[in-house]
A and B are shown apart, each in its own frame.
Chain A
């Protein structure tokens, strides 16, 4: 695969973001204990992770990499990072900690993880580089205050073309100028996407037919479910790597792979198939989900080629006759769950204010007991409120 083969080993081999690359290089060269950590912000596929790998290779650092999206609770972060800080000088090489996707640390459930990260940054004894796709949420604003921030932007198309021509020359492959321009134009400044598209051109998976990979997801899914052969079904799945008319779906290729699985899932669970067939299809789909997780977390783009074949091969026969469905469950069921959920959310908010507790704690520890009280001891609760033992706001639960 071109993506794996042409991943730059040194920062001079990368293209685009020249000033940002030099800024990170200067930061690491001049790093000393007490220096601020580095935060690299930019969209996927512009070379954030590649830069760290290439840079540490150039400057002979040992990289300890943590995908922060997975390892985000306080305990987990501390158990991994603290020993690194205390034992930094027992390693034979210089050590650098790389936290990828730190913007994945967010929300109430991860709050402990994020605060732990902020504390750990203050006590760092080794260089720390963090990468994030997005820096707009509140946590990231806080993080930016204690870091040097360098922005990576999308790669200009001409530089992509320069790199593509270099790759094609190295491979000894002649691709028409029309295909080259199309590959570059439709990569939107993302080197990884460009190499994947170039790979597809080389493999003749798609030739000069733009329609083959710009179909909306619903169309692609219906084509998949009505395909007459497994190879047609694989083609249909492959055609999903384009624009989706549904605004829920993103342009980022990593999200699109999950969207693809999600739409197959929603279509299967809403189908009229018998429960055993549905169970078997979902079981097969779970393997594809595992593969996607491995691809995304380990950056194993070379394994992408197996994804569509795995999905099509495992559910093709069982899924004939299914139609694309957007929603996770039938409308009457989803609206009932939504409405009941709203009542619980309203009650949770009131209780959180009254009892000075987090929404999470109220939902996890208080609500189950309140339901129990309400079902058994309604009168006791009413009298407790009336006598002032419990706050008046709790009347909403009666």
Chain B
């Protein structure tokens, strides 16, 4: 299984020249020094996953990003992980720690983004 994190870099097996070029065109960046891929445009996640799936034939699992702290949202330990299709939900969720801070904290953060 290939785990793709939307908040930090992730590694991939060798994809081949064509698939690599397609990924770069789809808003993925590659850090040569550390061998890590990062997704710059999460709105293209569907096509990115499709490219990786096609070239690796492996199961892809996505880790969403916490909208507040920017870290991994903790999808693998989430109480809703079984029923959550992470490809069809918006790419930012909320981690357990930030969730405890409540809805008011969430809207304050959104307000700060708008300003």
- Chain A interface residues toward B at CB < 8 A: 11-13, 15-22, 25, 46, 151-159, 161-163, 165-166, 181, 184-185, 189
Contacts and interface: CB of A to CB of B under 8 A. Distances in A.
Contacts of B42: 19
Contacts of B50: none
Interface stretch (B10-18, B28-36, B78-86): B78-86
Contact of A153 (B90, B102, B110): B90
Contact of A162 (B64, B84, B92, B103): B103
Given A12-B111, A154-B90, A19 B43 contact: yes
B76 interface: no
Contact of B92 (A18, A152, A154, A189): A18
Please indicate which of the listed interface residues A46, A162, A165, A189 has the most CB atoms of chain B within 10 Å of its own CB. Answer: A162
B84 A12 contact: no
Given A156-B89, A158-B93, A166 B83 contact: no
Contact of B99 (A18, A151, A158): A158
Interface residues of B, number: 29
B84 A13 contact: no
Contacts of A161: 80, 99
Contacts of B102: 162, 165-166
A185 B91 contact: no
A25 to B, nearest CB: 7
Interface of B: 42-43, 64, 67, 73, 78-80, 83-86, 88-94, 99, 102-104, 106-107, 110-111, 113-114
A153 B106 contact: no
Contacts of B99: 158, 161-162
A383 to B, nearest CB: 61
A161 B114 CA distance: 23
Contacts of A25: 114
A11 B92 CA distance: 16
A185 B91 CA distance: 18
Contacts of A46: 90
Contacts of A189: 88-89
A166 B73 CA distance: 20
13 contacts: A11-B110, A18-B90, A21-B110, A155-B89, A156-B73, A157-B84, A157-B89, A158-B99, A159-B93, A161-B99, A162-B99, A166-B104, A181-B79
3 closest A-B pairs by beta carbon, nearest first, are: A166-B103, A157-B80, A156-B93
A95 to B, nearest CB: 23
A13 B108 CA distance: 9
A193 to B, nearest CB: 14
Nearest to A157: B80
